[in-house]
Structure 1
Amino acid sequence: MNTVEAQNPNKEAPENPVNEKTENKKSARPKNLAERIYLQLKQDIFDFQLLPGDRFSESEIAARMQASRTPVREALYRLERDGYVQVHFRSGWQVRPFDFRYFEDLYDVRILLESEAVRRICASHERDALLANLTNIWCCAPTERLSDSSTVAGLDEGFHFELVELAGNQEMAAIHKDVCERLRIIRRLDFTQEGRIEATYDEHSGIIELLRQANAETAVAELKHHIEVSKNTVRKITLHRIQLAKSRYNINIQAPA
Protein backbone atom coordinates (compact mmCIF):
# COMPACT_ATOMS: atom_id res chain seq x y z
CA MET A 1 0.00 0.00 0.00
CA ASN A 2 1.36 3.34 -0.99
CA THR A 3 1.70 5.73 1.89
CA VAL A 4 0.96 9.33 1.08
CA GLU A 5 2.00 11.98 3.61
CA ALA A 6 -1.06 13.91 4.62
CA GLN A 7 -0.93 17.58 3.81
CA ASN A 8 -1.48 19.93 6.71
CA PRO A 9 -3.29 23.03 5.49
CA ASN A 10 -2.09 24.93 8.57
CA LYS A 11 1.55 24.08 7.95
CA GLU A 12 3.56 27.07 6.66
CA ALA A 13 5.04 26.68 3.21
CA PRO A 14 8.82 26.35 3.26
CA GLU A 15 10.77 29.48 2.44
CA ASN A 16 12.23 29.69 -1.02
CA PRO A 17 15.89 30.52 -0.47
CA VAL A 18 16.46 31.07 -4.18
CA ASN A 19 13.72 33.70 -4.43
CA GLU A 20 14.83 35.30 -1.16
CA LYS A 21 18.42 35.61 -2.39
CA THR A 22 17.21 36.98 -5.70
CA GLU A 23 15.15 39.64 -3.96
CA ASN A 24 18.08 40.57 -1.74
CA LYS A 25 20.30 40.94 -4.79
CA LYS A 26 17.71 43.09 -6.52
CA SER A 27 17.36 45.39 -3.52
CA ALA A 28 21.10 45.59 -2.88
CA ARG A 29 22.19 46.16 -6.46
CA PRO A 30 21.00 49.78 -6.91
CA LYS A 31 22.69 50.86 -3.68
CA ASN A 32 25.93 49.11 -4.60
CA LEU A 33 25.81 50.64 -8.07
CA ALA A 34 25.11 54.12 -6.70
CA GLU A 35 28.03 53.71 -4.31
CA ARG A 36 30.33 52.63 -7.15
CA ILE A 37 29.28 55.60 -9.29
CA TYR A 38 29.71 57.96 -6.35
CA LEU A 39 33.24 56.73 -5.64
CA GLN A 40 34.24 56.82 -9.32
CA LEU A 41 32.95 60.36 -9.86
CA LYS A 42 34.61 61.59 -6.68
CA GLN A 43 37.89 60.03 -7.78
CA ASP A 44 37.51 61.68 -11.20
CA ILE A 45 37.09 65.04 -9.47
CA PHE A 46 40.10 64.38 -7.23
CA ASP A 47 42.20 63.40 -10.26
CA PHE A 48 41.01 66.45 -12.27
CA GLN A 49 39.42 64.17 -14.88
CA LEU A 50 36.29 66.16 -14.09
CA LEU A 51 37.53 69.72 -13.73
CA PRO A 52 36.15 72.62 -11.69
CA GLY A 53 33.37 74.22 -13.71
CA ASP A 54 32.73 71.18 -15.93
CA ARG A 55 29.06 70.70 -16.81
CA PHE A 56 27.41 67.38 -17.59
CA SER A 57 24.01 65.68 -17.60
CA GLU A 58 22.74 62.63 -15.77
CA SER A 59 22.28 60.92 -19.14
CA GLU A 60 25.95 61.43 -20.03
CA ILE A 61 27.11 59.91 -16.75
CA ALA A 62 24.60 57.06 -17.07
CA ALA A 63 25.90 56.21 -20.55
CA ARG A 64 29.50 56.33 -19.39
CA MET A 65 28.81 54.16 -16.33
CA GLN A 66 26.46 51.84 -18.25
CA ALA A 67 23.77 52.40 -15.65
CA SER A 68 20.28 53.82 -15.40
CA ARG A 69 19.74 57.40 -14.28
CA THR A 70 18.38 56.39 -10.85
CA PRO A 71 21.70 55.31 -9.25
CA VAL A 72 23.47 58.14 -11.11
CA ARG A 73 21.08 60.69 -9.61
CA GLU A 74 21.55 59.17 -6.14
CA ALA A 75 25.33 59.41 -6.49
CA LEU A 76 25.20 63.00 -7.76
CA TYR A 77 22.99 64.22 -4.93
CA ARG A 78 25.38 62.62 -2.48
CA LEU A 79 28.27 64.46 -4.15
CA GLU A 80 26.24 67.65 -3.91
CA ARG A 81 25.78 67.15 -0.15
CA ASP A 82 29.54 66.65 0.13
CA GLY A 83 30.14 69.93 -1.69
CA TYR A 84 31.75 68.55 -4.86
CA VAL A 85 29.05 69.32 -7.44
CA GLN A 86 26.16 71.71 -7.97
CA VAL A 87 22.81 71.03 -9.59
CA HIS A 88 21.28 73.44 -12.12
CA PHE A 89 17.74 72.26 -12.72
CA ARG A 90 17.58 73.69 -16.25
CA SER A 91 21.09 72.84 -17.38
CA GLY A 92 22.19 69.71 -15.52
CA TRP A 93 25.12 69.35 -13.15
CA GLN A 94 28.41 71.15 -12.64
CA VAL A 95 31.61 70.34 -10.78
CA ARG A 96 31.85 72.99 -8.10
CA PRO A 97 34.21 75.79 -9.22
CA PHE A 98 37.24 76.21 -6.99
CA ASP A 99 36.72 78.94 -4.42
CA PHE A 100 39.81 79.27 -2.26
CA ARG A 101 37.98 81.54 0.16
CA TYR A 102 35.68 78.60 0.88
CA PHE A 103 38.69 76.39 1.62
CA GLU A 104 40.25 79.14 3.76
CA ASP A 105 37.08 79.18 5.87
CA LEU A 106 37.20 75.40 6.25
CA TYR A 107 40.85 75.54 7.31
CA ASP A 108 39.95 78.17 9.93
CA VAL A 109 37.27 75.87 11.37
CA ARG A 110 39.68 72.96 11.35
CA ILE A 111 42.34 74.95 13.23
CA LEU A 112 39.81 76.05 15.86
CA LEU A 113 38.64 72.48 16.48
CA GLU A 114 42.12 70.95 16.58
CA SER A 115 43.49 73.72 18.81
CA GLU A 116 40.72 73.12 21.35
CA ALA A 117 41.41 69.38 21.18
CA VAL A 118 45.11 70.01 21.91
CA ARG A 119 44.23 72.06 25.00
CA ARG A 120 41.89 69.35 26.29
CA ILE A 121 44.46 66.61 25.78
CA CYS A 122 47.08 68.65 27.64
CA ALA A 123 44.65 69.10 30.54
CA SER A 124 44.14 65.33 30.86
CA HIS A 125 46.10 63.36 33.46
CA GLU A 126 45.90 60.33 31.13
CA ARG A 127 47.47 62.00 28.12
CA ASP A 128 50.34 59.49 27.80
CA ALA A 129 47.84 56.63 27.51
CA LEU A 130 45.62 58.65 25.17
CA LEU A 131 48.57 59.39 22.89
CA ALA A 132 50.00 55.85 22.85
CA ASN A 133 48.71 54.98 19.38
CA LEU A 134 49.84 58.23 17.76
CA THR A 135 53.21 57.95 19.50
CA ASN A 136 53.69 54.46 18.08
CA ILE A 137 52.92 55.64 14.53
CA TRP A 138 54.78 58.94 14.38
CA CYS A 139 57.55 58.89 16.99
CA CYS A 140 59.71 56.31 15.24
CA ALA A 141 63.25 56.13 13.95
CA PRO A 142 63.85 57.63 10.48
CA THR A 143 64.55 54.14 9.10
CA GLU A 144 61.07 53.01 10.19
CA ARG A 145 59.20 55.83 8.49
CA LEU A 146 56.91 54.95 5.60
CA SER A 147 57.52 56.48 2.18
CA ASP A 148 54.37 55.71 0.17
CA SER A 149 52.53 59.01 -0.31
CA SER A 150 49.02 57.48 -0.34
CA THR A 151 49.68 55.53 2.87
CA VAL A 152 51.17 58.53 4.65
CA ALA A 153 48.29 60.74 3.47
CA GLY A 154 45.86 58.32 5.13
CA LEU A 155 47.92 58.24 8.32
CA ASP A 156 48.13 62.04 8.32
CA GLU A 157 44.36 62.34 8.12
CA GLY A 158 44.08 59.73 10.87
CA PHE A 159 46.46 61.78 13.07
CA HIS A 160 44.22 64.82 12.93
CA PHE A 161 41.03 62.75 13.34
CA GLU A 162 42.41 61.06 16.42
CA LEU A 163 43.58 64.33 17.98
CA VAL A 164 40.03 65.64 17.94
CA GLU A 165 38.49 62.32 18.99
CA LEU A 166 40.79 62.25 22.04
CA ALA A 167 39.21 65.50 23.22
CA GLY A 168 36.17 63.42 24.14
CA ASN A 169 33.44 65.43 22.36
CA GLN A 170 31.67 63.32 19.75
CA GLU A 171 29.89 66.26 18.11
CA MET A 172 33.14 68.15 17.76
CA ALA A 173 34.73 65.07 16.18
CA ALA A 174 31.82 64.68 13.74
CA ILE A 175 32.04 68.32 12.63
CA HIS A 176 35.81 67.97 12.23
CA LYS A 177 35.43 64.89 10.02
CA ASP A 178 32.91 66.67 7.82
CA VAL A 179 35.27 69.65 7.42
CA CYS A 180 38.18 67.35 6.55
CA GLU A 181 36.07 65.49 3.99
CA ARG A 182 35.35 68.80 2.24
CA LEU A 183 39.06 69.65 2.30
CA ARG A 184 40.19 66.25 1.05
CA ILE A 185 40.01 67.26 -2.61
CA ILE A 186 43.01 69.55 -2.10
CA ARG A 187 44.63 68.07 1.04
CA ARG A 188 45.43 64.83 -0.76
CA LEU A 189 47.91 66.75 -2.96
CA ASP A 190 50.14 67.64 -0.01
CA PHE A 191 52.24 64.48 -0.20
CA THR A 192 52.93 64.80 -3.91
CA GLN A 193 55.43 67.53 -2.99
CA GLU A 194 59.00 66.38 -2.36
CA GLY A 195 60.02 66.52 1.28
CA ARG A 196 56.51 66.72 2.74
CA ILE A 197 56.51 63.15 4.07
CA GLU A 198 59.65 63.66 6.15
CA ALA A 199 58.44 67.08 7.27
CA THR A 200 55.11 65.61 8.37
CA TYR A 201 56.81 62.94 10.48
CA ASP A 202 58.97 65.63 12.12
CA GLU A 203 56.05 67.98 12.73
CA HIS A 204 53.69 65.30 14.07
CA SER A 205 56.27 63.82 16.42
CA GLY A 206 57.09 67.32 17.69
CA ILE A 207 53.43 68.06 18.40
CA ILE A 208 53.01 64.73 20.20
CA GLU A 209 56.01 65.43 22.43
CA LEU A 210 54.60 68.85 23.36
CA LEU A 211 51.27 67.21 24.18
CA ARG A 212 52.96 64.68 26.44
CA GLN A 213 54.68 67.59 28.23
CA ALA A 214 51.29 69.36 28.59
CA ASN A 215 52.78 72.38 26.82
CA ALA A 216 49.44 73.44 25.38
CA GLU A 217 50.13 76.85 23.89
CA THR A 218 53.37 75.81 22.18
CA ALA A 219 51.61 72.70 20.85
CA VAL A 220 48.78 74.87 19.48
CA ALA A 221 51.31 77.18 17.80
CA GLU A 222 53.14 74.22 16.21
CA LEU A 223 49.85 72.70 15.08
CA LYS A 224 48.75 75.96 13.42
CA HIS A 225 52.11 76.26 11.66
CA HIS A 226 51.87 72.63 10.50
CA ILE A 227 48.40 73.19 9.02
CA GLU A 228 49.37 76.52 7.41
CA VAL A 229 52.37 74.94 5.67
CA SER A 230 50.19 72.13 4.34
CA LYS A 231 47.51 74.60 3.22
CA ASN A 232 49.95 76.77 1.30
CA THR A 233 51.54 73.72 -0.33
CA VAL A 234 48.29 72.25 -1.61
CA ARG A 235 47.04 75.63 -2.81
CA LYS A 236 50.09 76.06 -5.04
CA ILE A 237 49.81 72.52 -6.39
CA THR A 238 46.07 72.86 -7.03
CA LEU A 239 46.48 76.12 -8.93
CA HIS A 240 49.29 74.60 -10.98
CA ARG A 241 47.20 71.57 -11.95
CA ILE A 242 44.22 73.69 -12.90
CA GLN A 243 46.40 75.99 -14.99
CA LEU A 244 47.67 72.97 -16.92
CA ALA A 245 44.10 72.12 -17.86
CA LYS A 246 42.95 75.63 -18.79
CA SER A 247 43.93 75.16 -22.43
CA ARG A 248 41.14 72.56 -22.73
CA TYR A 249 38.57 73.90 -20.31
CA ASN A 250 37.06 77.22 -19.37
CA ILE A 251 37.40 77.09 -15.59
CA ASN A 252 35.95 79.59 -13.17
CA ILE A 253 38.64 80.10 -10.52
CA GLN A 254 38.27 82.50 -7.63
CA ALA A 255 41.87 83.12 -6.62
CA PRO A 256 42.77 83.83 -2.99
CA ALA A 257 43.01 87.47 -2.00
Structure 2
Amino acid sequence: MQTTQHRSHRPRTAPRSRADEVYEQLKRDIAEFDLVPGDRFTENEICERLDVSRTPVRQALIRLQQEGYVEVLFRSGWRVLPFDFEQFEQLYDLRMVLETTAAQRICADDRRVDRELVDKLNAIWLVAAADRETDAAQVAQWDEEFHCSLVAAAGNAEMARVHRDVTDRIRIIRRLDFTKQARIDTTYEEHAKILKAIARKRGDQAAMLLRAHIETSQAEVRKITLHQVHLARQGAGGK
Protein backbone atom coordinates (compact mmCIF):
# COMPACT_ATOMS: atom_id res chain seq x y z
CA MET A 1 0.00 0.00 0.00
CA GLN A 2 1.38 3.35 -1.06
CA THR A 3 1.64 6.11 1.46
CA THR A 4 1.04 9.66 0.38
CA GLN A 5 3.74 12.08 1.37
CA HIS A 6 2.57 15.55 2.25
CA ARG A 7 4.96 18.16 1.05
CA SER A 8 4.95 21.79 1.89
CA HIS A 9 4.28 24.01 -1.11
CA ARG A 10 5.09 27.24 0.66
CA PRO A 11 7.13 29.52 -1.59
CA ARG A 12 10.76 29.72 -0.67
CA THR A 13 12.22 33.10 0.05
CA ALA A 14 15.38 33.74 -1.91
CA PRO A 15 18.34 34.24 0.41
CA ARG A 16 19.59 37.80 0.65
CA SER A 17 23.01 38.29 -0.87
CA ARG A 18 25.80 40.33 0.69
CA ALA A 19 25.20 42.94 -2.02
CA ASP A 20 21.53 43.15 -0.99
CA GLU A 21 22.55 43.75 2.62
CA VAL A 22 25.01 46.50 1.62
CA TYR A 23 22.40 48.08 -0.66
CA GLU A 24 19.79 48.16 2.11
CA GLN A 25 22.27 49.58 4.62
CA LEU A 26 23.45 52.37 2.31
CA LYS A 27 19.89 53.24 1.37
CA ARG A 28 19.05 53.40 5.08
CA ASP A 29 22.09 55.61 5.66
CA ILE A 30 20.80 58.05 3.03
CA ALA A 31 17.22 57.99 4.34
CA GLU A 32 18.37 58.59 7.92
CA PHE A 33 20.86 61.32 6.93
CA ASP A 34 23.98 59.43 7.91
CA LEU A 35 24.84 60.21 4.29
CA VAL A 36 23.41 63.49 2.99
CA PRO A 37 23.25 65.03 -0.49
CA GLY A 38 26.72 66.08 -1.55
CA ASP A 39 28.59 63.66 0.72
CA ARG A 40 31.54 61.97 -0.98
CA PHE A 41 32.93 58.55 -0.12
CA THR A 42 35.02 55.75 -1.59
CA GLU A 43 34.30 52.07 -2.02
CA ASN A 44 37.14 51.26 0.36
CA GLU A 45 35.53 53.40 3.09
CA ILE A 46 32.29 51.47 2.74
CA CYS A 47 34.16 48.15 2.73
CA GLU A 48 35.91 49.03 5.97
CA ARG A 49 32.80 50.40 7.69
CA LEU A 50 30.59 47.43 6.79
CA ASP A 51 33.38 44.84 6.92
CA VAL A 52 32.65 43.46 3.45
CA SER A 53 34.63 42.87 0.28
CA ARG A 54 34.63 45.26 -2.63
CA THR A 55 32.42 43.22 -4.99
CA PRO A 56 29.13 43.47 -3.03
CA VAL A 57 29.85 47.15 -2.33
CA ARG A 58 30.31 47.85 -6.04
CA GLN A 59 27.14 45.91 -6.91
CA ALA A 60 25.14 47.82 -4.30
CA LEU A 61 26.44 51.20 -5.46
CA ILE A 62 25.66 50.46 -9.11
CA ARG A 63 22.10 49.60 -8.07
CA LEU A 64 21.80 52.84 -6.08
CA GLN A 65 23.23 54.73 -9.06
CA GLN A 66 20.55 53.27 -11.34
CA GLU A 67 17.89 54.40 -8.86
CA GLY A 68 19.24 57.95 -8.74
CA TYR A 69 20.65 58.03 -5.22
CA VAL A 70 24.39 58.27 -5.95
CA GLU A 71 26.77 59.02 -8.80
CA VAL A 72 30.27 57.85 -9.55
CA LEU A 73 32.98 60.52 -9.72
CA PHE A 74 35.88 60.10 -12.13
CA ARG A 75 38.84 58.85 -10.11
CA SER A 76 37.47 60.21 -6.85
CA GLY A 77 34.88 57.76 -5.55
CA TRP A 78 31.15 58.32 -5.21
CA ARG A 79 28.79 61.12 -4.21
CA VAL A 80 25.26 61.21 -2.82
CA LEU A 81 23.22 63.07 -5.42
CA PRO A 82 21.60 66.42 -4.54
CA PHE A 83 17.82 66.44 -4.24
CA ASP A 84 15.97 66.78 -7.54
CA PHE A 85 13.07 68.90 -6.31
CA GLU A 86 11.31 68.89 -9.68
CA GLN A 87 11.25 65.11 -9.60
CA PHE A 88 9.88 65.14 -6.06
CA GLU A 89 7.07 67.45 -7.22
CA GLN A 90 6.19 65.00 -9.99
CA LEU A 91 6.24 62.05 -7.60
CA TYR A 92 3.93 63.88 -5.20
CA ASP A 93 1.53 64.57 -8.09
CA LEU A 94 1.51 60.87 -9.00
CA ARG A 95 1.01 59.91 -5.36
CA MET A 96 -2.00 62.24 -5.19
CA VAL A 97 -3.65 60.63 -8.21
CA LEU A 98 -3.15 57.10 -6.84
CA GLU A 99 -4.35 57.86 -3.31
CA THR A 100 -7.43 59.89 -4.21
CA THR A 101 -8.47 57.21 -6.70
CA ALA A 102 -8.00 54.54 -4.04
CA ALA A 103 -10.11 56.46 -1.51
CA GLN A 104 -12.98 56.79 -3.97
CA ARG A 105 -12.82 53.07 -4.81
CA ILE A 106 -12.93 52.12 -1.13
CA CYS A 107 -15.98 54.31 -0.59
CA ALA A 108 -17.69 52.79 -3.62
CA ASP A 109 -17.76 49.50 -1.65
CA ASP A 110 -15.87 47.59 -4.30
CA ARG A 111 -15.87 43.84 -3.56
CA ARG A 112 -12.08 43.76 -3.75
CA VAL A 113 -11.67 46.28 -0.91
CA ASP A 114 -9.64 44.97 2.04
CA ARG A 115 -11.69 46.16 5.02
CA GLU A 116 -9.24 44.63 7.50
CA LEU A 117 -6.55 47.08 6.38
CA VAL A 118 -8.92 50.00 6.90
CA ASP A 119 -9.82 48.70 10.37
CA LYS A 120 -6.12 48.58 11.31
CA LEU A 121 -5.72 52.21 10.26
CA ASN A 122 -8.71 53.20 12.38
CA ALA A 123 -7.10 51.54 15.40
CA ILE A 124 -3.93 53.61 15.00
CA TRP A 125 -5.28 57.02 13.99
CA LEU A 126 -8.75 57.30 15.57
CA VAL A 127 -7.48 57.67 19.12
CA ALA A 128 -7.77 60.30 21.83
CA ALA A 129 -5.18 63.08 21.80
CA ALA A 130 -3.65 61.75 25.03
CA ASP A 131 -3.02 58.38 23.36
CA ARG A 132 -1.20 59.73 20.31
CA GLU A 133 2.35 58.65 19.58
CA THR A 134 4.90 61.46 20.01
CA ASP A 135 8.02 59.78 18.64
CA ALA A 136 8.70 61.42 15.27
CA ALA A 137 10.34 58.34 13.74
CA GLN A 138 7.40 56.12 14.68
CA VAL A 139 4.83 58.60 13.37
CA ALA A 140 6.77 58.92 10.11
CA GLN A 141 6.67 55.15 9.69
CA TRP A 142 2.96 54.96 10.53
CA ASP A 143 2.21 57.85 8.17
CA GLU A 144 3.90 56.00 5.33
CA GLU A 145 1.97 52.83 6.18
CA PHE A 146 -1.28 54.81 6.35
CA HIS A 147 -1.00 55.96 2.77
CA CYS A 148 0.31 52.64 1.44
CA SER A 149 -2.44 50.72 3.26
CA LEU A 150 -5.13 52.99 1.83
CA VAL A 151 -3.99 52.25 -1.71
CA ALA A 152 -3.54 48.53 -0.97
CA ALA A 153 -7.04 48.38 0.56
CA ALA A 154 -8.56 49.48 -2.76
CA GLY A 155 -7.75 46.03 -4.14
CA ASN A 156 -5.67 46.92 -7.20
CA ALA A 157 -2.28 45.22 -6.86
CA GLU A 158 -0.67 47.22 -9.68
CA MET A 159 -1.76 50.53 -8.16
CA ALA A 160 -0.33 49.41 -4.84
CA ARG A 161 2.96 48.37 -6.46
CA VAL A 162 3.41 51.71 -8.23
CA HIS A 163 2.49 53.59 -5.06
CA ARG A 164 5.06 51.59 -3.06
CA ASP A 165 7.71 52.57 -5.59
CA VAL A 166 6.76 56.25 -5.32
CA THR A 167 6.78 55.98 -1.51
CA ASP A 168 10.24 54.46 -1.56
CA ARG A 169 11.59 57.26 -3.75
CA ILE A 170 10.22 60.14 -1.67
CA ARG A 171 11.01 58.63 1.74
CA ILE A 172 14.31 60.48 2.15
CA ILE A 173 12.71 63.92 1.91
CA ARG A 174 9.32 63.03 3.38
CA ARG A 175 10.87 62.26 6.75
CA LEU A 176 11.81 65.92 7.14
CA ASP A 177 8.09 66.63 7.43
CA PHE A 178 8.04 65.14 10.95
CA THR A 179 10.71 67.20 12.66
CA LYS A 180 8.14 69.41 14.43
CA GLN A 181 5.50 68.34 16.94
CA ALA A 182 2.88 70.54 15.25
CA ARG A 183 3.17 68.49 12.06
CA ILE A 184 2.63 65.29 14.05
CA ASP A 185 -0.57 66.67 15.60
CA THR A 186 -1.79 67.86 12.21
CA THR A 187 -1.13 64.44 10.69
CA TYR A 188 -3.28 62.73 13.33
CA GLU A 189 -6.12 65.19 12.80
CA GLU A 190 -6.05 64.99 9.01
CA HIS A 191 -5.78 61.20 8.91
CA ALA A 192 -8.76 60.97 11.29
CA LYS A 193 -10.88 63.18 9.02
CA ILE A 194 -9.98 61.07 5.98
CA LEU A 195 -10.86 57.81 7.74
CA LYS A 196 -14.17 59.21 9.01
CA ALA A 197 -15.12 60.30 5.49
CA ILE A 198 -14.29 56.79 4.23
CA ALA A 199 -16.39 55.24 7.02
CA ARG A 200 -19.34 57.35 5.81
CA LYS A 201 -18.60 56.27 2.21
CA ARG A 202 -18.14 59.87 1.12
CA GLY A 203 -15.64 59.28 -1.65
CA ASP A 204 -15.44 62.83 -2.97
CA GLN A 205 -14.91 64.23 0.52
CA ALA A 206 -12.23 61.64 1.33
CA ALA A 207 -10.44 62.41 -1.94
CA MET A 208 -10.63 66.16 -1.28
CA LEU A 209 -9.22 65.73 2.25
CA LEU A 210 -6.44 63.48 0.95
CA ARG A 211 -5.56 65.97 -1.77
CA ALA A 212 -5.31 68.81 0.78
CA HIS A 213 -3.30 66.60 3.14
CA ILE A 214 -0.76 65.69 0.46
CA GLU A 215 -0.55 69.28 -0.81
CA THR A 216 0.33 70.44 2.72
CA SER A 217 3.16 67.92 2.89
CA GLN A 218 4.27 68.91 -0.60
CA ALA A 219 4.39 72.56 0.48
CA GLU A 220 6.59 71.62 3.42
CA VAL A 221 8.93 69.82 1.04
CA ARG A 222 9.30 73.00 -1.01
CA LYS A 223 10.64 74.78 2.08
CA ILE A 224 13.39 72.26 2.66
CA THR A 225 16.90 73.52 2.08
CA LEU A 226 20.23 71.73 2.21
CA HIS A 227 20.89 73.56 5.47
CA GLN A 228 17.82 71.90 6.96
CA VAL A 229 19.03 68.54 5.69
CA HIS A 230 22.32 69.01 7.52
CA LEU A 231 20.46 70.03 10.68
CA ALA A 232 18.33 66.91 10.34
CA ARG A 233 21.51 64.87 10.05
CA GLN A 234 22.81 66.32 13.31
CA GLY A 235 19.59 65.43 15.07
CA ALA A 236 19.14 62.02 13.47
CA GLY A 237 20.60 60.24 16.45
CA GLY A 238 17.82 61.55 18.66
CA LYS A 239 14.93 60.37 16.51
Q: What TM-score do the two structures reach when normalised by structure 2?
A: 0.79
Structure 2 unaligned spans of 5+: 1-14, 233-239
| 1:19 counterpart residue number | none
Q: Which runs of 4+ in 1 moved over 4 A?
A: 88-92, 125-128, 242-245
Query: Does residue 1:218 correspond to 2:205, yes or no?
Result: yes
Q: Give the 3-state SS of the residue equivalent to 2:46 in structure 1.
A: helix
Q: Aligned partners of 1:52, 1:195: CA distance in 2, in Å?
A: 26
| 2:189 counterpart residue number | 202
| 1:114 counterpart residue number | 99
Q: What value does the CA root-mean-square deviation take over the aligned residues?
A: 2.6
Instruction: Tell me if structure 2 keeps the 8 A contact 1:86–1:95.
Output: yes
| 1:159 counterpart residue number | 146
Query: Does residue 1:193 correspond to 2:180, yes or no?
Result: yes
- Work out the number of aligned pairs and report it: 216
| 1:143 counterpart residue number | 130
Q: Which amino acid aligns with 1:86?
A: E
Q: Aligned partners of 2:230, 2:139: CA distance in 1, in Å?
A: 27
Q: Cα deviations across residues 168-223 of structure 1 (Å, max 9, x unaligned)? A: 11011000000000000011121112211111110001001111122222211111
Q: Give the 3-state SS of the residue equivalent to 2:78 in structure 1.
A: strand
Q: Cα deviations across residues 122-144 of structure 1 (Å, max 9, x unaligned)? A: 10167794522211111111122
Farther off after superposition, 47-56 or 201-210: 47-56
| 2:22 counterpart residue number | 37
Q: Give the 3-state SS of the residue equivalent to 2:133 in structure 1.
A: coil
Instruction: Tell me if structure 2 keeps the 8 A contact 1:52–1:97.
Output: yes
Instruction: Tell me if structure 2 keeps the 8 A contact 1:189–1:238.
Output: no
| 1:250 counterpart residue number | none
Q: Which amino acid aligns with 2:82?
A: P
Q: Aligned partners of 1:154, 1:195: CA distance in 2, in Å?
A: 17
| 1:68 counterpart residue number | 53
Query: Does residue 1:77 correspond to 2:90, yes or no?
Result: no
Q: Which has the larger radius of gyration?
A: 1
Q: Cα deviations across residues 41-78 of structure 1 (Å, max 9, x unaligned)? A: 22332343433233433233223433211110122123
Q: Aligned partners of 2:145, 2:34: CA distance in 1, in Å?
A: 27
Q: Which amino acid aligns with 1:99?
A: D
Matched-pair identity in %: 51
| 1:8 counterpart residue number | none
